[in-house]
Structure 1
Amino acid sequence: MSNEQLTIIVPIYNESENIQRLKDALSQYFQKASVAVKALFVNDGSSDGSLEKLKSICKNSHCFDYISFTQNKGLSAAIKAGFDHVNSSLTGYIDADLQTDPEDFELLLEYIDDYDLVTGNRNHSRKDSFTKNMSSKIANGIRRAFTHDGMDDTGCPLKIIKTEYAKRIPMFKGLHRFLTAMIMLQNGKVKQVDIQNYPRLAGQSKFGLWNRLLGPLLDCFVYLWMKKKYINYQIQEKS
């Protein structure tokens, strides 16, 4: 993947019903993209046949690669594993449910030269239930109060990060909720861009009220501890 400018990480956990749609949507975007792009599927211990479908896709196309966990480890672990395995200069992230459109990566790419992370903002076009929308709004408010990152939709599953910054993000459960804040801890510049949001057409959401509200609140205290202990450095010279 070293020749690609953008590698899109796609965490997969029991998304068998979405995988063909996902492959088609990504393939369509690859043909239009303004940069060279590949996708890296991260199979998070799926038990519904997702892995077999991913193997078939990757076997028949050089635009797709995959890595697979031995067991389910969660979204944060899947994203971190993706960061660890990417070699392109830019790293993208999108969820497998296609509630965001891969073609909207083009909106983010317009700003990536001047920023170190560009993230989507779905709030103007959310197509989720009232309960999901409200819980997400509350969770975003809680995170914003703790991190002061200025983001309206920190959990948006459409992001582009300069890979050198992504690789310096430490591993911890809940990191997917703090990607913007973790770039800011590195003195990186961040920006949000309005994107479209679509209803989930297949498969089941992996998040409910418990892990949309209580989980993020607990993770905020972990973030505060990490912020206090975080070591940031810059190399001035080397031989």
Structure 2
Amino acid sequence: MISVVIPGKDEVGNIGPLMREICQALQGLTEFEIVVVDDGSQDDTFGEVINTAKEMGCVAKAIRHEKSTGQSTAILTGVKHASGEYIVTLDADGQNDPADIPAMFAQLSQIQAQHFCIAGYRKNRKDTPWKRFQSRFANKVRDALLNDGVPDTGCGLKLFPRETFLCLPYFDHMHRYIPALVRRMGGEVYISVVNHRDRQEGVSKYTAWNRVWVGIVDILGVMWLGRRAKVAKIAKQETTSHG
């Protein structure tokens, strides 16, 4: 079973169409649920989730934070309330395309690792030239320092086992470093090229300031975690029983 976890704030105009697309993409493919975490919205994002779920006849959970705590905390809330073995995350603004989820799901049959992450790669981004420049610069700096092998860590579309995510160290903004954190615990990271679309409603919650300066601090923290990680490989194991 897949739990599609969507963190969102003030996305009343986007969340309904996004949920309909998720239902269309996954109907008949696998059992699924949609878990939307309303991160302290000022609009009726929560109510729109409930209304859309009833309209589509799909299994959905709506959770509302009393006040905004940020995207990473919203994802953590969603994963904790999810029932699926696998988690798919995507942004509530509609720029991630649910039609890409089946291809990521198909990759599961080729993965043997217990812990892993399939990370979306927005190869052809629809953002402004300035925003694309920021992302390219940030991704090059991040990859040079963390060597996580991911060309686009900012893409919200990812698939990973629920168990894997709950083993990761939690901190604010950690959702941007899931591949690096998965590698830190000895897991594997895979890349899936995905579509990227224009935002239809609302405005972005991120600016150049909060992306760059907070990102530098976060990268240093992830580097610290990575250098102190030790992954044990079991050489031998035996269990004895009475009788």
- TM > 0.5: yes
Aligned: 1:178 with 2:177: yes
Aligned: 1:53 with 2:70: no
Aligned: 1:72 with 2:68: yes
Letter in 1 for 2:208: L
Q: Secondary structure at the match of 2:120?
A: strand
Tell me the equivalent position of 2:188: 189
How far is 1:130 from its partner?
Answer: 0.4
Aligned: 1:143 with 2:142: yes
Indicate how the Cα distance of structure 1 residues 41 and 232 shifts in structure 2: closer, same or farther if over 3 A, else same: farther
How do 1:221-236 residues align onto structure 2 when only pairs under 5 Å count?
221-230=220-229, 232=231
Q: Secondary structure at the match of 1:42?
A: strand
Indicate how the Cα distance of structure 1 residues 237 and 87 shifts in structure 2: closer, same or farther if over 3 A, else same: farther
How far is 1:58 from its partner?
Answer: 4.5
Letter in 2 for 1:111: Q
Give CA deviations for 1:166-185 in whole Å, capped at 9, x if unaligned: 11112101101101011111
- Write the distance in 1 (CA, Å) between the matches of 2:22 and 2:222: 33
Q: Check whether the contact 1:112–1:118 (CA below 8 A) recurs between aligned residues.
A: no
- Write the distance in 1 (CA, Å) between the matches of 2:173 and 2:150: 17
Letter in 1 for 2:102: E
Q: Check whether the contact 2:20–2:52 (CA below 8 A) recurs between aligned residues.
A: no
How far is 1:62 from its partner?
Answer: 4.2
- Write the distance in 2 (CA, Å) between the matches of 1:218 and 1:76: 15
- Write the distance in 2 (CA, Å) between the matches of 1:58 and 1:140: 36
Unaligned runs of 5+ in 2: none
How many residue pairs get aligned? The number is 233
How far is 1:93 from its partner?
Answer: 0.3
Aligned: 1:91 with 2:87: yes
Match of 1:43 among 38, 44, 66: 38
Aligned: 1:28 with 2:24: yes
- Write the distance in 1 (CA, Å) between the matches of 2:196 and 2:220: 29
- Write the distance in 2 (CA, Å) between the matches of 1:157 and 1:150: 17
Aligned: 1:155 with 2:151: no
Q: Structure 1-normalised TM-score?
A: 0.90
Letter in 2 for 1:106: P
Letter in 2 for 1:71: K
Q: Secondary structure at the match of 1:193?
A: strand
**Higher Cα Rg: structure 1 or 2?**
2
Letter in 2 for 1:51: F
Please, which moves more after superposition, 145-154 or 111-120?
111-120
Indicate how the Cα distance of structure 1 residues 232 and 68 shifts in structure 2: closer, same or farther if over 3 A, else same: farther
Q: Which runs of 4+ in 1 moved over 6 A?
A: none
User: Kindly, what percent of the aligned residue pairs are identical?
Assistant: 29
- Write the distance in 2 (CA, Å) between the matches of 1:26 and 1:127: 21
Please, which moves more after superposition, 64-73 or 225-234?
225-234
Q: Structure 2-normalised TM-score?
A: 0.88
